[in-house]
Structures are given as structure tokens and as C-alpha cells.
Amino acid sequence: MEEQLPAAPSAELVDALDVELRQVERTFGGHRVLQDLDLRIDAGSTVALLGASGSGKSTLLRLVAGLDRPTSGTVSVGGESVRGPGRRTAVVFQEPRLLPWRDLAGNVALGLPLGTPRAQGRDAVLHRLETVGLADFAGHRPRRVSGGMAQRAALARALVRRPGVLLLDEPFAALDALTRLRMQDLLDGVQRDSGTTVLLVTHDVDEALHLADRVLVLAADGDRGAQVVRDLRVDAPRPRDRADAQLAALRVELLELLGVPRTTRTPS
């Protein structure tokens, strides 16, 4: 099924929230994943997490989402300690995780806060489907749409919560290259339109540079848990030109940090 780019979403600011981790450690059995991690993410910013597999990126994201608890230290969103999943954050995973027996509108409605009045909820669902370019597919079940469309529905399900923090765990990794680029542009437009705080886990350096205000590189040192070894600010204006020379220079720096030899790099 052909992927169509949605129209630019209409302005609808949310109450963006800051995120703070203080002296966070997370161990699983005898394995330390994160250690003494201090991190602050300003409200309304987009931050990308890069690092090798097993460097703790998804663990950090789950701590902020309240899907996991730190072994020690504190995690707060908007100045309040995270003690479990809450309405102020929303998560989009690598897989859309749509219920096959519900249509797209029904799946998006699952993201509505508890107690939302029926009429208000229906309007919010339709608005978010329109935001991601799926208004004409509201009655389709997941099996009838493409992978990119399913992932857009998952994004709409997260946005319908009007989250202060949007958490993304490699949300475009399973998509084909062209659809992935379109999804990146869609996410960038939605973030600039809503002003929400975004924390993105990715293995894709170009994706991080296209979307983020800051790129954090996580790495472990021997038996020590992962820590932030580079906090790179990306000052290029958004929306960004993927051919920007400034981004190309930052790409080289990030690939070197990630241990990718120049001889094995593919052209941008």
C-alpha cells in the first residue's frame, strides 16, 4: 500500500515536562546496566540516545516511562518522582502493538486518559488520526494497512494522551528506508507543532541528527554500567536539510565515538 505524507498538523501545544535522573543505577542480577547516571532533559526539547546494543538505552527509556524502577537513585518527570506508568508520558515501541480485532480508531482510543468523555474522546482520536495522515483509514483493521501506517497509528495512540514526554524506542527500525524518512519528518513536524519533550532511542546516527536538539552517547566501561560519554548539541535549525554540511561533520564525530572505522562507513 502506498505511503502518503500527511498534511502539516494544526497547532496544538501541550504542557511539555522536563526529565531528570539523579545517581541512577540499574542492575539485573549481578549485571550492572546503568551506573551513577545524572541526566536532565529540558521541557520541549528532543533528545536522542545512541550507543551499542546492551548499552542501556532502552533500560533508561523504561525507567522514565515507569515501566521499570531504578535499583538506586531517582527518576522524575515534571518534578515528580516516577513510581509507575502515568498519564504524563507515552511510549511508542519498535512494533506498533496494535490489537488486530480493533480498527485503527479503536486502537488509537486505547491511548485516551481514563475518564475522557465519549464525544471528546471521539474528536481527539479523529484529530490524531488526521495528524498522522490516517483519517481515511480510521475503520481499517491493522492487517489491512502497511507497516508504516500501523506505526503512524501507534504514534497517534501515544499523542492522543497529550503527553508531556513522548518516549520512542526505535520506533522506525522495522520500516523500509523511504517510509522511515517520511516517519522521521512526520515526527519532527508533530514535535515542533506540539512542543512536547521527546526522548528517542535509536541506532541510526542520521536519524538522531535529523531529529534531536541533543544526542547522548551511552557506553559501558568494563564491569561498570553505562554512562553518558558524549552530550552533543545539534544547533542546526529545524526542519533540517539531510545534506547539511554541519550535520555531516557531526555524523563523522558520532561514528568515531561509536567505534565505526571510516573504511566501513557507507556514504550519507
pLDDT at 267: 54
pLDDT at 54: 82
Asked if residue 251 is part of any domain, the answer here is: yes
Where does a domain end: 116, 146, 162? 162
Give the residue among 59, 50, 93, 90 at the shortest CA–CA distance from 201: 50
Domain count within the chain: 2
**What are the residues whose beta carbons fall under 8 Å from the beta carbon of 249, sequence distance 6 or more?**
none
Name the stretches of the chain with pLDDT < 70: 1-12, 222, 262-268
Asked if residue 4 is part of any domain, the answer here is: no
- Statement to judge: residues 243 and 265 lie in one domain: yes
Asked if residue 6 is part of any domain, the answer here is: no
Where does a domain end: 130, 162, 194? 162
**pLDDT tens per residue, range 128-172:** 999 999 999 999 999 999 999 999 999 999 999 999 999 999 999
- Statement to judge: residues 187 and 245 lie in one domain: yes
Asked if residue 3 is part of any domain, the answer here is: no
CATH code for position 72: 3.40.50.300
pLDDT at 120: 93
Asked if residue 57 is part of any domain, the answer here is: yes
- Statement to judge: residues 74 and 30 lie in one domain: yes
| Maximum alpha-carbon separation in the chain | 58
Burial class for 31, CB neighbours closer than 10 Å (0-12, 13-18, 19+): exposed
Asked if residue 5 is part of any domain, the answer here is: no
* Rounded Cα distance, 61 and 132, in Å: 23
pLDDT at 9: 47
- Statement to judge: residues 202 and 252 lie in one domain: yes
pLDDT at 72: 95
**What is the span of the domain harbouring residue 33?**
14-88+167-268
Secondary structure of residue 31 in the 3-state scheme: strand
Asked if residue 7 is part of any domain, the answer here is: no
For 15, 20, 56, 174, 231, the CA distances from 76, given in Å and listed in that order, are 16, 5, 18, 30, 20
Where does a domain end: 162, 180, 205? 162
**pLDDT tens per residue, range 7-18:** 444 446 788 999
* Rounded Cα distance, 57 and 94, in Å: 13
- Statement to judge: residues 257 and 228 lie in one domain: yes
**What are the residues whose beta carbons fall under 8 Å from the beta carbon of 118, sequence distance 6 or more?**
none
Residue 99 corresponds to which cell in the numbers above?
A: 490489537
Q: Are 23 and 73 in contact (CB under 8 A)?
A: yes
